[in-house]
Amino acid sequence: MTYWKTHNLDTSYFDRYFVGADKLAKSLQDSAEWLANNAAASYPPFNLKKVEDNKYVIEMAVAGFAKQDIELTLEENKLIVKGSTAADSAGDGSSAYLHKGIADRAFTRQFTLADNVEINNANLINGMLKIWLEHVIPESKKPKKIDIADEAEVSKEAKKADKKQFLSE
């Protein structure tokens, strides 16, 4: 496997514009490094579809794999799909292929998910593995309107606050 050198990204210029985004910058750097080192991996082929506004599906062609041969793991924000076949572990050699065009080799695919993406379910039908995802936006992240008070309202609030305070010795 060829490893490509990736350059460290200097994000100090952006720090003043993106307060608290250092986690995002690290995630982008990690993704860039992973992509540079694994760009040649194309097995098994997959589709990533947007089904609705906040719903997605990963479709992966895994013909020849049974449900027990596929393992889905979620570590932090990485979805890892691993596949292994009985032919990988058996290696009985009882069959001699004249041509072997059907790939039945082990694989590992990795997808980086956002913090607020949840996996709803997964199913395997006719050699297609479908993983259903949903982007859930918490109430605290939804846009909210902030009222702007004028000078008269501010002075009223200050007077109320002054009346509530008392001296204690």
pLDDT for 123-136, tens place per residue?
999 989 999 999 98
* Whole-number pLDDT of residue 1: 45
CATH class for the domain made up of 43-91+100-145: mainly beta
- Count how many residues are written for the chain: 169
Domain boundary assignment for the chain: 1-40, 43-91+100-145
| 49, β-bridge pairs | 57
Q: What are 24-77's pLDDT values in tens digits? A: 777 777 777 766 666 556 788 899 999 998 899 999 999 888 899 999 999 988
User: How do strand 117-125 and strand 107-112 relate by DSSP bridges?
Assistant: unpaired
SS3 42: coil
The encoded tokens of residue 160 equal 């109320």
pTM value is: 0.60
